[in-house]
A and B are shown apart, each in its own frame.
Chain A
Amino acid sequence: SYELTQPPSVSVSPGQTARITCSGDALPKQYAYWYQQKPGQAPVLVIYKDSERPSGIPERFSGSSSGTTVTLTISGVQAEDEADYYCQSADSSGTYPNWVFGGGTKLTVL
């Protein structure tokens, strides 16, 4: 089955840049999406179609894609950005698409 691979954890100091990667064989052909989940809350979409930012999401959140890896970049990290981040894509190799989530990355702001 199709998998998306993320690092379990990333740590940065306030004001620095955090980069969270997500790898998957189908990513050159499928868009990736990113979600932020804070403790006790539902996930929130922060990036769609690899690099588009929904309205209301701060400009410090950006996304990029290169080959089989997509990256969520948070510039000028703030304490409020501490959360779990999940990538998501779709596996369209079967009759119907299967939506797939990465295992999640815990971002710690030191």
Chain B
Amino acid sequence: EVQLVQSGAEVKKPGESLKISCKGSGYSFTSYWIGWVRQMPGKGLEWMGIIYPGDSDTRYSPSFQGQVTISADKSISTAYLQWSSLKASDTAMYYCARVTAWFDPWGQGTLVTVSS
């Protein structure tokens, strides 16, 4: 079974850094793109960026370029999404998903709360 398992919920203060993870199993992790999607409270889905773990080719949505960093460690089949300095507006649920031209399957989501 293809599965993506994300790291647990985080509560952070503004200005802190954070790295969340997404571990793939049940398929060849290096052969598919992994995408990250933001969902702010009560809002819709926003594509943030994708990475190809095979060669770490990474592409960002113009809306998120420079705001986050996407990386992957293929030796442990894990992709990452990180912030160097969080803002309150980063409070959201973050999903990873395996991407072909569509997103499937999805991880269970990681809730990030940024509050002073």
Chain A residues with CB under 8 Å of chain B are: 1, 31, 33, 35, 37, 42-45, 48-49, 54, 84, 86, 88, 90, 96-104
Number of A-B contacts (CB under 8 A): 57
Chain B residues with CB under 8 Å of chain A are: 35, 37, 44-47, 50, 59, 61-62, 95, 97, 99, 101-109
Given contacts A45-B103, A48-B102, contact A103 B59 (CB under 8 A): no
- In the bound assembly, the distance between CA atoms of A45 and B59 in angstroms comes to 22
Q: Choose one: B45, B62, B97, B105; the contact of A98 (CB below 8 Å).
A: B62
B residues within 8 A CB of A90? Answer: 101
Chain A at the B interface: SS class: strand
- In the bound assembly, the distance between CA atoms of A48 and B101 in angstroms comes to 9
List 5 A-B residue pairs with CB atoms under 8 Å apart, sorted by A's residue number. A42-B106, A88-B102, A88-B103, A99-B47, A100-B47
